[in-house]
């Protein structure tokens, strides 16, 4: 099962590499089957999207390009030219195909179509009003980026569980240690 807590499918896709800045980042897209599951669970496609090892390589390359663009946006830097070119090239290919069926809407996609959909959503996110709402989780071990739609833009972490809980628990322990510290007595 994949996790979707960032408020936008593109950010959840980028979050498939967790704890990026730690000594041991956690890769979630470990096989073509895990990529297929991510497409299905994210709603990019409703059924199976058969994926090959090359599709997984393309997905990871796209994810890393998107991450570079997001980091640049957060820092107010210029976009990396190669990352920008990769996202734009993927967006030029046909995307997932929504179809109306007697029971409702269904989205079918090949792996390249699903990746195109992600690239197009990236362009909409970074080129639209939600780009100003992007934040990175304040828990140092977490590198998830999320859309902060909270009142007053006060949200500090990607999700309460686990990051918010861990930050709050660490702050509580630090306050408790300070209050229990022996005070120096003057002689």
Q: Are 111 and 51 in contact (CB under 8 A)?
A: yes
Question: Domain-by-domain residue ranges, the chain?
Answer: 9-133
Q: Which residues contact 117 (CB under 8 A, 6 or more apart)?
A: 44, 95, 96, 109
Q: Are 151 and 133 in contact (CB under 8 A)?
A: no
Residue 24 is predicted with a pLDDT of: 92
pLDDT averaged over every residue in the chain:
89
Residue 182 is predicted with a pLDDT of: 67
Residue 2 is predicted with a pLDDT of: 74
pLDDT per residue over 27-66, tens digit each? 999 999 999 999 999 999 999 999 999 999 999 999 999 9
Q: Is residue 170 predicted with pLDDT exceeding 90?
A: no
pLDDT per residue over 69-125, tens digit each? 999 999 999 999 999 999 999 999 999 999 999 999 999 999 999 999 999 999 999
Model-wide pTM > 0.95: no
> What's the gap between Cα 45 and its chain centre?
18
């Amino acid at each position: 099962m994949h996790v979707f807590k960032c408020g936008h499918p593109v950010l959840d896709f980028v979050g498939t590499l967790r704890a990026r800045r730690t000594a041991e980042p956690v890769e979630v897209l470990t096989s073509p089957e895990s990529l297929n599951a991510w497409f299905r669970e994210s709603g990019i496609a409703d059924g199976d999207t058969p994926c090959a090892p090359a599709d997984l390589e393309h997905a990871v390359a796209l994810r890393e390009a998107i991450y570079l663009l997001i980091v640049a946006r957060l820092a107010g830097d210029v976009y990396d030219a190669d990352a920008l070119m990769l996202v734009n090239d993927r967006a030029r290919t046909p995307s997932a195909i929504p179809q109306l069926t007697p029971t409702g809407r269904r989205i079918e996609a090949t792996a390249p179509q699903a990746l195109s959909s992600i690239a197009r959503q990236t362009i909409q996110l970074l080129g639209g009003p939600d780009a100003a709402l992007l934040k990175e989780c304040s828990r140092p071990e977490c590198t998830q980026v999320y859309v902060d739609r909270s009142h007053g833009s006060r949200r500090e972490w990607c999700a309460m569980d686990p990051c918010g809980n861990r930050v709050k628990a660490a702050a509580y322990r630090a306050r408790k240690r300070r209050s229990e510290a022996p005070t120096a007595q003057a002689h």
